[in-house]
Amino acid sequence: MTEITISVGLNDAVTKQQEHPTKVYVDIMKNVCQSYHVPFSFIVSEGGYFHENGEYTQEKTLVICLLDPEKGVVDGIARDLCAFFHQESVLITESKVRAYFIKEQLPE
């Protein structure tokens, strides 16, 4: 099984500041994933990175996890979020994982 993550920073590409409350970005991300009909999970994380010009930035980031999605769907979601969040780019990572569910009978 393939696990894809899409990491999208929340700082605006031009102002270098987060322009809206995190909940606004989360709601947009949920709507985008729903429109592509993909199951997903996400976390809000904090981190830092260097721009191409060497400038360092810290920001909140949405990290979306998708299991075995179609390649075109991943690219579509990434492009939409890049545009909607006004980003220079978003990061996509791909990993092979072993995933399984355990079920237990719930007491009645």
Model confidence band, residue 30 (pLDDT cutoffs 50, 70, 90): very high
pLDDT mean across residues, the chain: 93
Distance CA 78, CA 103 (A): 33
Q: Which helix (H) or strand (E) holds 22?
A: helix 22-35
Model confidence band, residue 91 (pLDDT cutoffs 50, 70, 90): very high
| pLDDT the model gives residue 57 | 85
Is residue 88 within 8 Å of residue 16, measured between CB atoms? no
Domains defined along the chain, listed by start: 2-96 (3.30.70.120)
Position with higher pLDDT, 41 vs 53: 41
Q: Provide the percentage of residues in the chain whose pLDDT is more than 90.
A: 77
